[in-house]
Structure 1
Amino acid sequence: MKTSITFSALLFFCISLNSFAQNDTIAKERYTSHNKGKFTISWGGNREKFTDSDIHFMGDDYNFVVQSATAHDKPKGWHVDYITPGRMTIPQTNFKLGYFFTDKYSISIGVDHMKYVMTQNQTANITGIINGNPPFNGSYANTPTVMTEEFLMFEHTDGLNYVYAEIARQDDISKWFGIKNTDKFQININGGFGFGALYPKTNTTLMGKERHDDFNVAGYGTSIKAGINFTFFKYFTIEGDLKGGYINMPNIRTTKSTSDSAKQEFFYGETIIALGGIFRL
């Protein structure tokens, strides 16, 4: 009987000691040691570069291609509009909401609000036919033509909206820099792949026709990114990303007439700086 009591007491002591050790480890474990179950949110701005692209315009009385058209973005610079309700879509912005389903992997949804402006007054070759739109009527065969405001203005400035889902991986590299208390400051690197739809509001002035000027699902895009993330005091983040991708828009609305449309495809590069947070509900 005494042996049984002694063994039971010893077992209870070992279990209690093990539990205490586990609780002590949990108590000492940093908030930033694990990401699984955390949500992220961020808001920031971007700059973009676009490759030259062929833009194909189609309608009842015209069908032509502007070849190798150059384009640029429309930066706002450092401005209060980035945080002013009602004016947040005037600059080039980025919004993303994510969830870590493991310590390293997350899934997110986001909107890259980019701006695409075909360079005005550039000379580009045109191939195709225009009828019923004087003084631009004629047959074109690699014909150098100046993109005047009277002939063509073409831009996605409200904007070139890439609405996407993304899967990404994040790794803590704080130890590379000798940082021990990651709850105060943590450095992470990340990379990801995204896929989504293009939902632009295209502003087009085409041979004097009334423009469409409304949002439209125009096509799809894919993207890859790599970035660095700084986390301060467990919950606050600053992230810088380099992002690139492919955009294909076969269904661009150009004028009020549903018979008028355009299509184009191109590659783009994007730099992003965003502020945000990481938290558990």
Structure 2
Amino acid sequence: MKKLLVIGLMMSNFVFAQTLSRDTADIEVIHENAHERIKVKPDPLLKKGQIFVFFGWNRGAFGNSDIHFTGNGYDFQLNNVSARDKPTKLGIVYIDPSWFTVTQYNFRLGYFIKDNLALVLGIDHMKYVMKQNQTVDFSGTISDPKYAAMVQNGQVNLSDEQFLTFEHTDGLNYENLGLEKYKNLINRKNIDLVWSYGVGIGVMFPKSNIKLFGNERSDRFHVAGMGTDLRTSLNLVFWNHWMARLEGKVGYINMWDIKTTLNNKPDKAQQDFVFGQVLAGVGYTFNTKRNK
């Protein structure tokens, strides 16, 4: 009898152990499946109603352009004029809010109208400087004999600054509205990588610094034309909110009403050119939700 009792206890322990083992295995499988489900999370940036702000700095490049000048006593064009940007040297000016307009800066305010589509209001404060040390082709007429004499064999040398200085350095302001589509590339616990691409269109609101024929320098803000662009960016988001953004864009600018004098005379210049821009900076995202 005692032997049967012992054998029965041993068999019950064996069965119980097997059942517990299976249950434990099932729990582990369930836990593992739950863990897998947790890993599949929606993209953190791709949320309707989300807002982000961004501030950064840029470097720009500009294609050669023909600049047409008209006014009292002159109507001429300078062909194939080259230009460059004007970056500020590294220093405290880049982090001092009272001096931020001195740099080539960018601002973005974005709102997601869909889970992966955002409207982005942007300000691109670029700087455009005509290269002074160049000789360009000339066509047209100038009534003032002093400046007409500077044209030799259909060309004019701009290096001495007597004929013309021409800049949009306060600056070449592109106020634009863009439509951007976003796609998540990497989604981790505390870091996400998101790629975007889109298009933009806007007005050109430069403060042009122009001195033509020795006149007082024109230096005022004015709506001068329009621009359009294609853009793409990579966005790193840390801890759900902080963002580092690297953006590139190419575009076309047409300015048909550039003020060349300070008075109300009909003096103006026209030019159009392509541009490229690379910018980087930091931002912050609001209303970012993630599944736990």
Q: TM-score, normalised by structure 1?
A: 0.84
Shift of 1:135: 1.6
Aligned equivalent of 2:131? 119
Cα distance 1:33–1:118, how it changes in 2: closer, same or farther (>3 A)?
Answer: closer
Paired position in structure 1 for 2:18: none
Q: Which residue number in structure 2 is paired with residue 255 of structure 1?
A: 261
1:70 is matched with which residue: 61, 82, 104?
82
More displaced, 134-143 or 117-126?
134-143
Q: 1:141 to 1:193 in 2, by over 3 A?
A: farther
Instruction: Give the total of aligned pairs.
Output: 249
Q: Is the 8 A contact 1:195 1:222 kept in 2?
A: yes
Larger radius of gyration: 2
Name the SS of the counterpart of 1:159 in structure 2: strand
| Distance of 1:78 and 1:244 partners within structure 2 | 25
The 3-state SS of whatever aligns with 1:89 is helix
| Equivalent position of 1:171 in the other structure | 183
Residues 1:31 and 1:228: Cα distance change in structure 2 (over 3 Å): closer
Is 1:280 paired with 2:291?
no
> What displacement does 1:88 show?
0.8
Pairwise CA distance, 1:30: 7.0
Aligned to 2:61, the other structure's residue is in SS state strand
Is the 8 Å Cα contact of residues 225 and 244 (structure 1) preserved in structure 2? Answer: yes
Q: Give the corresponding residue for 2:238.
A: 232
Structure 1 segment 204-223 matched on structure 2, within 5 A: 204-223=210-229
Shift of residue 141 of structure 1? 8.9
* CA–CA separation in structure 2 for the residues paired with 1:260 and 1:113: 25
The one-letter amino acid of 1:186's match is D
Q: CA deviation at 1:84?
A: 1.6
CA 1:71/1:169 → structure 2, altered by over 3 Å: closer, same or farther?
same
Q: CA deviation at 1:110?
A: 1.0
How far is 1:139 from its partner? 10
Amino acid at match of 2:111: Y
Please report how far the alpha carbon of residue 255 of structure 1 lies from its aligned counterpart in structure 2 after TM superposition: 0.7
8 Å CA contact 1:155–1:202 kept in 2: the answer is yes
Is 2:211–2:218's contact at 8 Å kept on the other side of the alignment?
A: no
Q: Cα deviation per residue 1:81-102 (whole Å; 9 max; x = unaligned)?
A: 2332221111100001010111
SS in 2 for 1:58: strand
- Does the CA contact (< 8 Å) of 1:249 and 1:263 recur in 2? yes
User: In the TM superposition, what are the counterparts of 1:83-98 in structure 2 within 5 Å?
Assistant: 83-98=95-110
Structure 2: gaps (5+ residues): 1-36
1:205–1:211 Cα contact (<8 Å) kept: yes
CA contact 1:127–1:141 (8 Å) conserved in 2:
no
Question: How large is the RMSD of aligned CA atoms in angstroms?
Answer: 2.1
Assess, with a 3 A threshold, how the Cα gap between structure 1 residues 252 and 142 changes in structure 2: closer, same or farther. Answer: farther
Three-state SS of the structure 2 residue aligned to 1:237 is: strand
Gaps of 5+ in 1: 1-24
CA contact (8 A) 1:82 1:93 kept: no
Aligned mates of 1:270, 1:33 — CA distance in 2: 24
For 1:265-276, list aligned pairs within 5 A.
Answer: 265-276=272-283
Q: Identity of paired residues, percent?
A: 38
